[in-house]
């Protein structure tokens, strides 16, 4: 796989440079210095062609050849690692890109999933602003990462999300009503009203419940992959995280563990440029996250996260590699966080409004993909307006239903702390119920006392 991708990245300018040097130099030298080694460039050296190349020294970890030149590996290369892209800004496939086509069914499901996600975000954000729910996090700008990656996975692959990946759940069949129930924490919430909005999870859909502290899912993902490896399942683990999250200690240890233990796991980093108000320039000094994979011995790729087909292709290939070779793979999807970090954030306070507008309009992943799907004849303007109106109605309806549903009952406060309710919790529950009985006017009416 790697070879055809490398070829695709060589531009015409570079090709002519190659031919210019062909007669004078060792062909190996050319392919190392130009084009194909872009992704490896920061760490490749000229030592192989050095006249002062010496035989290897034996050290723990393997033989190492030595050099008489004192050469420091540069901290970063002049050129950033290139990103893999399939569609251009207008939704036309780039001429030299090789990619797997998706069929109509998948493409339409991907596109409608992206629109659904957008619609859900819009309605629920408004609902939060109206005071109907307490909190929400939108995924504006990251719809392609959500649906593009979800479409490339099998339902057996275990997903450990960070929190900005509801599209994965949508793809796998988690209903809008289930989402909205979770946001309202009502008695029909699969999570039993215990977590904040957008901290969803579903056993049935192989998506592990979101945990708020950053990066906790990363070592857990290695554990889940380890369990898949023990059971020799034909599945992998996919875990998502953001650019800010890559600063956490758990990120580094997780990549390290995954490489050492040789487990089937695909890491997908949503590098959206912002960690609340911290831009990536203040988060790390490396060239994004893709170069970090190599430090741990993990094959890595950078993709255009706003290009649904690029994401789809990369994830499909990574998944294949992870399962057949039983190893971790890292994907860095470059994108932009169009929305605020959450409803508790106003991002106009730390970034220019026109920057946000630019990404919202001219670099919008949903519109790019729409253009491609429509051009293939699988979608139309009429379908678009009909679908959008319909889905908006559906979300609003789900909100109305969820709002009227009773809140999670008192019993849910105490159950599932342990496998079985222990005596001290039984006592505490009894005390609470007695208190409520004695002072009913002081307690909310919409909480069921049953269960």
Instruction: Give the catalytic positions in this structure.
Output: 337, 341, 350
Q: Does 254 bind other proteins (CB under 8 A)?
A: yes
Token pair recorded at residue 286: 């490396």
Q: Does 203 bind other proteins (CB under 8 A)?
A: yes
Find the binder of other proteins among 47, 415, 429, 432 (CB under 8 A): 415
Token pair recorded at residue 389: 């109106």
Q: Does 300 bind other proteins (CB under 8 A)?
A: no
377 vs 107, 115, 380, CA distance in Å?
Answer: 11, 18, 7
Q: Does 432 bind other proteins (CB under 8 A)?
A: no
When the beta carbons of 194 and 376 are compared against other proteins, the nearer one is 194
Alpha-carbon gap, residue 123 to 179, rounded angstroms? 12
Q: Which stretch binds other proteins (CB under 8 A): 87-95, 116-124, 207-215, 302-310?
A: 207-215
Q: Does 195 bind other proteins (CB under 8 A)?
A: yes
Q: Is 158 left (phi over 0), alpha (psi -120 to 50) or beta?
A: beta
When the beta carbons of 119 and 224 are compared against other proteins, the nearer one is 224
Find the binder of other proteins among 44, 77, 209, 294 (CB under 8 A): 209
Find the binder of other proteins among 144, 168, 228, 366 (CB under 8 A): 228
Q: Which stretch binds other proteins (CB under 8 A): 132-140, 246-254, 365-373, 436-444?
A: 246-254
- Residues with Cβ within 8 Å of residue 100, at least 6 apart in sequence: 312, 313, 316
Contact 161, 211 (CB under 8 A): no
Q: Does 249 bind other proteins (CB under 8 A)?
A: yes
Q: Does 230 bind other proteins (CB under 8 A)?
A: yes
How big is the chain, counted in residues?
A: 451
When the beta carbons of 23 and 203 are compared against other proteins, the nearer one is 203
- Residues with Cβ within 8 Å of residue 415, at least 6 apart in sequence: 192, 421, 451
Token pair recorded at residue 379: 């979608």
Q: Does 223 bind other proteins (CB under 8 A)?
A: yes
Beta bridge partners of 265: 237, 328
The closest of 223, 227, 196, 222 to 209, measured between CA atoms, is 196
Alpha-carbon gap, residue 326 to 66, rounded angstroms? 32
The pattern of x and - marking residues 134 through 163 that bind other proteins according to CB under 8 A reads ------------------------x-x---
Q: Is 239 helix (H, G, I), strand (E, B) or coil?
A: strand
- Contact set with other proteins (CB under 8 A): 158, 160, 189-192, 194-195, 199, 201-203, 208-209, 211-213, 216-231, 249-250, 252-254, 256-257, 260-261, 415-419, 422-424
């Amino acid at each position: 796989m790697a070879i055809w991708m490398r070829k695709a990245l060589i531009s015409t300018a570079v090709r002519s440079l190659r031919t210019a040097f062909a007669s004078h130099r060792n062909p190996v030298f050319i392919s190392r210095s130009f084009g194909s080694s872009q992704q490896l460039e920061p760490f490749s050296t000229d030592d192989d062609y050095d006249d002062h190349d010496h035989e290897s020294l034996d050290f723990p970890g393997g033989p190492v050849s030595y050099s008489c030149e004192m050469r420091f590996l540069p901290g970063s290369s002049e050129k950033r690692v290139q990103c893999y892209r399939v569609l251009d800004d207008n939704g036309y496939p780039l001429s030299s890109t090789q990619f797997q086509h998706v069929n109509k069914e998948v493409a339409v499901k991907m596109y409608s999933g992206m629109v659904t996600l957008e619609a859900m975000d819009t309605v629920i954000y408004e609902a939060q602003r109206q005071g109907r729910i307490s909190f929400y996090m939108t995924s504006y700008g990251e719809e392609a990462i959500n649906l593009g990656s979800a479409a490339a996975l099998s339902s057996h692959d275990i997903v450990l999300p960070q929190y900005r990946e509801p599209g994965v759940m949508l793809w796998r069949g988690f209903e809008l009503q289930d989402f909205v129930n979770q946001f309202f924490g009502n008695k029909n919430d699969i999570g039993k009203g215990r977590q904040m909005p957008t901290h969803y999870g579903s056993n049935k859909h192989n998506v592990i419940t979101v945990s708020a502290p950053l990066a906790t899912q990363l070592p857990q993902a290695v554990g889940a992959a380890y369990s898949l490896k023990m059971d020799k399942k034909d599945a992998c683990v996919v875990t998502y995280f953001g650019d800010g999250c890559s600063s956490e200690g758990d990120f580094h240890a997780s990549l390290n563990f995954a490489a050492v233990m040789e487990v089937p796991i695909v890491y997908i980093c949503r590098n959206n440029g912002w960690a609340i108000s911290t831009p990536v320039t203040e988060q790390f000094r490396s060239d994004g996250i893709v170069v970090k994979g190599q430090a741990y011995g993990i094959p890595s790729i950078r993709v255009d996260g706003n290009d649904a087909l690029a994401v789809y292709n990369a994830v499909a290939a990574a998944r294949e590699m992870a399962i057949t070779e039983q190893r971790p793979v890292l994907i860095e999807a470059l994108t932009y966080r169009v929305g605020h970090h959450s409803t508790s954030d106003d991002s106009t306070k730390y970034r220019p409004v026109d920057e946000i507008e630019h990404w919202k309009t001219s670099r919008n992943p949903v519109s790019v993909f729409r253009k491609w799907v429509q051009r293939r004849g699988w979608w139309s303007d009429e379908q678009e307006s009909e679908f959008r109106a319909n889905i908006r109605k559906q979300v609003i309806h789900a909100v109305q239903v969820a709002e009227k549903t009773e809140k999670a009952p008192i019993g849910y406060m105490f159950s599932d702390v342990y496998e079985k309710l222990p005596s001290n919790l039984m006592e505490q529950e009894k005390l609470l119920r007695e208190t409520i009985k004695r002072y009913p006017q002081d307690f909310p009416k919409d909480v069921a006392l049953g269960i």
